[in-house]
Amino acid sequence: MKSSCGTRFTFLVLYLFAVQCVYAGSFHKDVKIHWGDGRGKIHDNEGKLLSLSLDKTSGSGFQSNQEFLYGKAEVQMKLVPGNSAGTVTTFYLKSHGATWDEVDFEFLGNISGHPYTLHTNVYTKGLGDKEQQFHLWFDPTAGFHTYCITWNPQRIIFTVDGIPIREEFKNSESIGIHFPKSQPMRVYASLWEAEHWATRGGLEKTDWSKAPFTAYYRNYNVEGCVWANGKSSCPAKSHWFTKKLGKGGMNKVKWAQRKYMVYNYCTDKKRFPQGVPAVCT
């Protein structure tokens, strides 16, 4: 029988190995603040914390330096506190061109005391209309929370603090439904003004006396198949590349949707009187 000391030593070695294998991103080397005229800022030498700000003149945003064809992108975010009506804070993937692919986390601000709306969507070949919206089970302005998009050849999974909130958007090309599989995407984030639609359909306007509005991002991390010279290179044996939701994951989806979903395109018969999209069935 192996001694308890030996067991603890083996566990420690495995733990340290796992820690060393985790890739920690840096805003300094992994992204470019590509708009905002100084409204986007990196706050530390290690590149762990970045802020985006919005005032009446402009918002701000960053993009990844690399493109990916499949990957897992995650970041921790702390949203604009107080009266954030009319503001949109984002973290998403997007390709170029008129028939682009896109996978969205968008946080729609609200007046003080009312919850943010987390708006999720998937675009394929320039067509979206796959919206699901949630009110979160925590205050996303009071602290940092982790938002993650996993995109592999078979499915797209959205998670919040490790909890999947949407049923997998599966690769259903066998029945004629487009799936993002050929256009590399960058990771983007932004803070911008959309008072004409973001809060209660545009009824609540942005209170510019509260500007500048600021959101924070930290612990940015992307593991993916880097696209270069017309082809992608994938890291070996990546768990996310074959990830799918098991029974436990689907139970978490059902919990999130039962308690916190406020809109689902798959049940909007008024919007789709001829029948909901085939991807819902």
Terminal Cα-to-Cα distance of the chain (whole angstroms): 54
Residue that the structure tokens 């060393």 belong to? 20
What amino acid positions are annotated as catalytic residues? Answer: 102, 106
Going by C-alpha positions, the residue among 155, 181, 124, 110 that lies closest to residue 253 is: 155
Both tokens assigned to 100: 């682009």
Task: Give whole-number Cα distances, 247 to 76, 250, 253, in Å.
Answer: 26, 5, 10
Strands, E assignment, 109-260: 117-123, 132-134, 145-152, 155-160, 163-164, 169-170, 186-193, 213-228, 231-233
